[in-house]
Amino acid sequence: MAHTDVVSVDVRKWTFPPFSATRNGGYVYGRGTVDDKDNVVSALMTALNLKRLNVPLDRDVIFLFEAGEEGATRVGIFEAGRNFASFRSTMVSRHSQQRP
């Protein structure tokens, strides 16, 4: 699980443009560079590698990326938590229909 959103910024408080991913002195400066985006990319790469390598799985792999953690939790992780059972049943239903 990871979140993909960022809060708004006041550009006057930044040495480099906040959405530029500026490299300077061996660091990357930008809004969200030290946040949860590494978890998003790690999970995505894991999913891609599982698929590319045709890894046999004995259970579902569920990735949850939500965009409400920073400013709108009522439509982010809390909504996912409230509705996880229906997400799960939908995924299982679709998954079992696709099996030979």
**Annotated catalytic residue 10:** no
Catalytic annotation, pick one of 10, 38, 60, 70: 70
- 3-class SS at 35? coil
Q: What is the C-alpha to C-alpha distance for residues 91 and 86, in angstroms, rounded to an integer? A: 9
Please give the angle made by the CA atoms of 46, 74 and 43, to the nearest 5 degrees: 5
Half-sphere exposure of 70 (CA within 13 A, CB side): 14
**Annotated catalytic residue 5:** yes
Q: Which residues participate in catalysis according to the annotation?
A: 5, 70
